[in-house]
Amino acid sequence: MKIAVLGGTGDIGEGFALHWAEKHHIRIGSRKSEKAEAAAEQFNETLTLFERKGDISGFDNRTAAEDADVIILAIPYAHVSGVIDVVRPVLSDQIIVSPVVPMSRDEYFKYDAPARGSAAQEIQAMLPEGMNMVAAFHTVASRKLCSLDPAFQCDVMVCGDDRHSKDVIISLTDEVVCLRPLDVGPLALASTIESLTPLLLNIAVLNHLKDPSIKVL
């Protein structure tokens, strides 16, 4: 598949790229194509260091999204509407994946629920009619993911309304050895998994933990 990771120049984008590049075409997207191209080159060099092969390329966000099968929105909540505006002309039948979390911080991190209930539901309303949204990857410790640490194990909560789209993302998640996908229901429940991100950040700060994640036992 062609997998576009918009805003994919950071840790979470690198983690997805390193794990999926052997089987899929990874398209790193950024506001500026030069930044995405530089990140893709760096990710390809990391693959070589780990004696892995892959296909990672860099583009501007719109080009990365065009003709992709799956689009992952690895972008801050505040930038979502702007990125959707840029890529909307090339959206048709791609599966959109949101790990986006609306949150703020004063003394502690807190989840800021949008009027529609969740970031995923808000993004769904921005998309062309008929497109499918899946919410996932909110609890993945990105730096551990891109380290390719074999000891790292994490559960990924996945929700969405379209069975096929959800199954595609569950299957992709299952390809990553350190991740276990868990179906948590329809998109209406996205707020419950989005709110886990500020919870994990507070746990990290208050208990001096580095990059905590979630494993359901």
The CATH number assigned to the domain holding 155 equals 3.40.50.720
Q: pLDDT per residue over 71-114, tens digit each?
A: 999 999 999 999 999 999 999 999 999 999 999 999 999 999 99
How many domains, the chain?
1
CA distance 189 to 213: 19
Q: Which structural domain range is residue 120 located in? A: 2-207
Tell me, yes or no, whether 23 lies in a domain.
yes
- What does the mean pLDDT of the chain come to? 94
Structure tokens at 174: 């299952």
Assess whether pLDDT exceeds 90 at residue 11: no
Residue 49: count of CB within 10 angstroms of its CB: 8
Assess whether pLDDT exceeds 90 at residue 39: yes
Across the chain, where does the E strand assignment appear?
2-6, 25-30, 55-60, 70-73, 95-98, 103-105, 109-111, 132-135, 154-160, 179-185
Tell me, yes or no, whether 158 lies in a domain.
yes
Assess whether pLDDT exceeds 80 at residue 149: no
Grade residue 52 by pLDDT with cuts at 50, 70 and 90: confident
Assess whether pLDDT exceeds 80 at residue 119: yes
Looking at residue 12, its pLDDT comes to 87
Grade residue 51 by pLDDT with cuts at 50, 70 and 90: confident
Grade residue 145 by pLDDT with cuts at 50, 70 and 90: confident
| Phi, psi angles (nearest 5°) of residue 132 | -110, 135
35 CB contacts (<8 Å, ≥6 apart)?
9, 58
